[in-house]
Amino acid sequence: MIKISNSNYTNFAFLIFFYIINGFHVNAQEKINLDENWKFHFGNASNPDKDFNYSIATIFSKSGAAVSTPIEAKFIDSTWTNINLPHDWAVALPFEYSKNFDVESHGYKPVGGFYPETSIGWYRKHFSVDKADSQKRFEIQFDGIFRNATIWINGFYVGTNLSGYVGVSYDVTDYLNFDKENIIVVRVDASQYEGWFYEGAGIYRHVWLNTFDNLHIPNDGLFVHSTVNGKNATVSIETEVENKNLTAAKGTIYSFITDNSGKQIGKTSEQNFTLSVNGKTTVKQNISLNNVNLWSLENPYLYKVVSVIKQNNKIVDKKKSNFGIKTVRFDAKEGFFLNGKQIKIQGTNNHQDHAGIGSALPDFMQYYRIKLLKEMGSNAYRTSHNAPTPELLEACDSLGMLVLDEQRLLNSSPEYVNQFERLLRRDRNHASVFLWSIGNEEGWIQKTETGKKIAQTLLAKQKEIDPTRTSTYAADMGNEFNGVNEVIPIRGFNYRQFAVADYHRDHPNQPLLGTEMGSTVTTRGIFAKDSIRAYVPDQDITAPWWASKAEDWWKLAAENNYWMGGFVWTGFDYRGEPTPYKWPNVNSHFGLMDVCGFPKNIYYYYQSWWTNEDVLHISPHWNWPEKIGKPIDVWVNTNADDVELFLNGKSLGKKIMPRNSHLQWEVIYEPGTLEAVAYKKGKKITSKVETTNLTTKLVAVADKTTLLANGKDGTVLNISLVDDKGREVPDANNMVYFSITGDAKIIGVGNGDPSSHEADKCENGLWQRSAFNGKCQVIIQAGKKAGEIKLVAKSNGLQSNSFTIQQNN
């Protein structure tokens, strides 16, 4: 049993118990979460006095020496801010106008070279380890820090991770104290960007303390893959074993597989091994399974593999991993096949931030966002343009969403090859990952011999680490072959949809995929261009010169088998890249949903053609008092066969629905009810929009109404402003005030307004957010005590709403 106490002014114990395998009590690898009770303070990139003497004090002359800096164990951090991880300090900063393009593209947050006062962050974590565990090995694991993170433990320099996206692990066994507390110190330098979009700042993913025996399976050292033959499969298990004892070691290893109920369904024999000091080996074993359940979009069935090391007939280590069994085929003429079934890739590109919380998403938010995408009909997710958080992949594994997993840069230097290797090793067991991407839009080199050579180096590394998959590259190139495209197995097209047919004609044996398509810009609930407030109409009519509208690309992809499909830019709006505007616009307009996940009208175009659900959506809303007697451009998105439109009971005509398109009517406005009546294979479908009355009350709808009292779970509450008949008022923008009772907390608010400069983070007791076109959002995180949580939403002059959530142990 490992006992960890967090001595950061609150004694908090984690107890990780023995696992039981085959009747044995097992000291298995243990993964202890270290997210709670950190201390945080800003440093300074230009003033050493305000950076705690960091660049003045000599800290690398002697091991463990860090006098007069926060690295020193006796440094007093009692005045620093108490925080829990994940933590994105950028999201809480105010918006600041700048003419600089990079500041603009990062959402006008004061992080980067122009802002030395808010671009360095110091973190300190106090914890204790039981002396009884002093014979174990310990590893600190950071899943993601933005960026350039320098890490110490107990004053000893551990390492520096330059990447803002790929996690890193360090063996810290030699530095741990067992008779007094330990201190992790992290200095995060976010003064340099990696992307051209909002990236956040700080330790925005989980931190873990991993413990294991000297004879063990290293981090990401278990690789599982399968070969399918009819209803049966051979599962190949490759387990790395490492010996950190001071003498040679002998042992045995075996593996077993369980189904999704935990029942053991296959096991290998025990295999002997001998390792010298610091020796490593990889043991390869196979298990045959009958009548396997294939992982699919509809049935994302997951098995579990467990590899076990024994020494002197005692289990000393084990490691487990979920995996799925599936077949994937890329065909240059017929497209993409999953388990032998032709599937069109209906994907979205996404960055990793969300309203209210920036890049620091709790795990439950990953599931929330993937669920929203699946409801729209999306079946694939591109991790634009970086390594995702592991919990995103876990959500995709369990919910049934294919993933195109992307490397940050097309670069073959030791640093970036190492980043790619860490990505490959970490993610190769995930059932959802069907394809790797070695980079995105490297305009300086993608057409050159240099780019080709770099691509070949990365492709060779991918084949070394994961020979079961292949790779693409997201090229903003038309019918051009020189450079990366000469060697990439799957040709990726970023836009240039007009060149796909010509490229296929000239290179008929190379499969191709739309890695980035669409890019219609829309603002939810806005129906006229507004260059003052920086809004664009909420219809599929506006796209940048380099992109296309939804119907321009999807018709081509849907109707041609050689197109495997593609990924829309983007599923959700995100901070930064305020195309086609600048200030006061602080986030993008590209999303099919806004930053809260509220659908825009273009969402219903894709839902019409990406699902078999009955879709019948009318836009715009019908509150136009200033337009009585004037024409309104009405759009209908549907997958029905025909649609008849009625205004206040009078028919405006019936139209046949063209495939992969939409319908339009010009309607002279009068208040009342605009109704669509459609037929789909003989089934009647109706939908309507109505002129509403004034806003009278607030209505809250929660994603989940029951939470686990674990301090990690949470829920999203979407607030609608409605009239006396319960109809959402589509132009209501009232300020909404939130309060919460019970053992839970609000962690963020949003409304989807791309030009809102309101705070995403508020002081306790002062949470508020204005509605934007009838909606706003509040995100709640669970506490640790069972009981009732009550959220109250109020707005001046309106009937308030209280919403109750149950929290259980």
Q: Omega into 570 within 30° of 0, i.e. cis? A: yes
- 243 phi, psi to nearest 5 deg: -110, 110
**HEC string of 709-729?**
CCCCCEEEEEEEEECCCCCEC
Would you state the structure tokens that stand for residue 515, as one six-digit string? 């890695």
Q: Omega into 621 within 30° of 0, i.e. cis? A: no
- 721 phi, psi to nearest 5 deg: -100, 120
CA–CA separation, 111 and 96 (whole Å)? 10
Cβ atoms of 761 and 91 closer than 8 Å: yes
104, 516, 551, 675: the active-site residue: 516
Bridge partners of 358? 354
- Look up tokens 């925005």; give the residue: 204
Would you state the structure tokens that stand for residue 760, as one six-digit string? 């995403």
Would you state the structure tokens that stand for residue 167, as one six-digit string? 């996690």
Q: Is 53 exposed, middle or buried (0-12, 13-18, 19+ CB in 10 A)?
A: middle
CA–CA separation, 6 and 33 (whole Å)? 11
Ramachandran sector of residue 778 (left: φ over 0; alpha: ψ -120 to 50; beta: rest): beta
- DSSP code per residue over 452-513: HHHHHHHHHHHHHH-TT--EEEEE--SS--SGGGGT-SEEEEES-GGGHHHHHHH-TTS-EE
User: What are the CA-CA distances from residue 620 to residues 599, 633, 688 (Å)?
Assistant: 13, 8, 11
The DSSP element (H or E) to which 665 belongs, if any, is strand 663-668
194, 199, 394, 441: the active-site residue: 441
Residue 219, amino acid? N
**DSSP single-letter state for residue 49:** G
Neighbours of 710 (CB within 10 A): 12
Ramachandran sector of residue 121 (left: φ over 0; alpha: ψ -120 to 50; beta: rest): beta
Q: Are strands 314-323 and 303-311 parallel, antiparallel or unpaired?
A: antiparallel
Whether 406 is catalytic: no
Cβ atoms of 136 and 3 closer than 8 Å: no
Whether 644 is catalytic: no
**Any residues with CB less than 8 A from the CB of 171 and at least 6 apart, and which?**
137, 138, 139
Bridge partners of 243? 215
Cβ atoms of 133 and 127 closer than 8 Å: no
CA–CA separation, 356 and 123 (whole Å)? 22
Instruction: Please name which of 131, 133, 176, 171 lies closest in space to residue 2, comparing C-alpha atoms.
Output: 133
Three-state DSSP at 106 gives coil
The DSSP element (H or E) to which 349 belongs, if any, is strand 345-350
Would you state the structure tokens that stand for residue 800, as one six-digit string? 């308030």
- DSSP code per residue over 573-595: --BS--TT--TT--B-S--SB-T
Question: Which sequence positions are flagged as catalytic?
Answer: 441, 516
